[in-house]
Structure 1
Amino acid sequence: MRLDKYLKTARILKRRTVAKELADQQRVYVNGRVAKASTEVKPGDEVRVLFGYRELTVRVLQTPKQVSKSDAALMFEVIEEKKIPQV
């Protein structure tokens, strides 16, 4: 599944366009590497997203095509979530 679609489907980000913009700004990493919006993600991958003053790292558990709102949280497990100090 494409990274931008995954972030939207898993409800990590609200819109796919926001996911694409973050990837274009090199603020999304898959397995430690800067990722494009079109990067394919699969179960077991580690995704790190920097948005606002937050950094969220998750492990991909599943990549279904469609998922209900209540099941979206089952698509990933949070590894780390932290605030980035403001400069």
Structure 2
Amino acid sequence: MSRVDKFLWSVRIYKTRTDATEACRSGRIKVNGLDAKPSREVKPGNILNIRKGSIHFQYKVIADVERRQPARMVEEYILNITPKEELEKLNMPRETFFLARDRGTGRPTKKERRDMDDLLDSVDFLYDTGEDED
């Protein structure tokens, strides 16, 4: 049995052990559906739920690991059981909307700011769900 933060680092889900520890502390890691502290023990058969961004990965622990493994060996220790719907989110284009200004143009004028506000209000209208804000 090994600590969940050390296990996540050893099987290369996180680049550093500090990143794995921080993910545990912030509630992005669950072991068998329960929030995991960094010191939580992981053993074969456990299901790890890992939230990275908007994607919820699921892995099944196959074997215990003693030290960090080469990338080609990781499949001997974990099995990716993430649902296909979650994996499809990786291929979806990022639907983000932001206003960008050219570098060096300075602060927007009052007219430019009002135009940007009007544009943002129209975008909010497009994504209105009909729910009250209260």
TM range (shorter): 0.7 to 0.9
Q: Which structure 1 segments of 5+ residues have no match? A: none
Q: Deviations over 1:47-80 (max 9, x none)?
A: 0011122211000001121233321221100111
Structure having the higher helix fraction is 2
Aligned AA (1:45): N
* 1:1-87 to 2 correspondences below 5 Å: 1-66=2-67, 67-81=69-83, 82=86, 83=89
Pair member with larger Rg? 2
Greater than 2 Å deviation, 4+ residue runs:
66-69
Q: Could you say what secondary structure the match of 2:20 adopts?
A: helix
TM-score, normalization: structure 1? 0.87
Q: Which structure 2 segments of 5+ residues have no match? A: 96-134
Residue identity (%): 32
Mean CA deviation greater in 12-21 or 30-39 = 12-21
Aligned AA (1:72): V
Q: Deviations over 1:10-65 (max 9, x none)?
A: 11111111111111111100000000011000000000011122211000001121
Tell me how many residue pairs correspond in the alignment: 86
Structure having the higher strand fraction is 1
Distance 1:18 1:54 in 2: 17
Distance 2:21 2:30 in 1: 12
Aligned AA (1:13): Y
- Structure scoring higher RCO (CA < 8 A, sep ≥ 6) equals 1
